[in-house]
Amino acid sequence: MSDQSGNVILGTLLGAAVGFAAGILLAPASGKETRETLGEKANEAKDAINDVASKAMNSLKEVKESAERSLRGETALVEKEAGKLKNEVKSKMENA
C-alpha cells in the first residue's frame, strides 16, 4: 500500500470519527445514552481500524513473498550464468 493510499484511509477514518463524535455530542440524548453510543461507536471504529491494519499487513506480506520469489529466480539465473562463465574461463585456460 502506498503512502498516499495510507494517508487517504487515515484521513477518511479520522474525518468519519470527528463527524460522528460531533453528531453524537450535539444530539439531544442523556449523558448515559451518549456514553453508551460513544462506547459502541468506539468499538466499531476499533474493529474497522483492525480490519484496515490486517488488510495492510496481508498486502505487505504478499509484496514480501513476491519480492522473495523474484529474488530467488534472479539468484538462480546469476548462478547459472556464473557457472557458464567459469566453464568458459576454465576452457580458455586449458587451451592457452
- Report the alpha-carbon distance of residue 95 to residue 72 in Å, rounded: 35
Residues 6+ apart with CB under 8 A from 37: 24, 29
- pLDDT beneath 50: ranges in the chain: none
Of the candidates 37, 17, 19, the one whose C-alpha atom is nearest the C-alpha of residue 28 is 37
Cell numbers at 57, concatenated = 499487513
What is the reported pLDDT for 71?
A: 92
What is the reported pLDDT for 93?
A: 87
What is the reported pLDDT for 1?
A: 53
What is the reported pLDDT for 96?
A: 72
Write out pLDDT tens, residues 53-66. Answer: 888 888 889 999 99
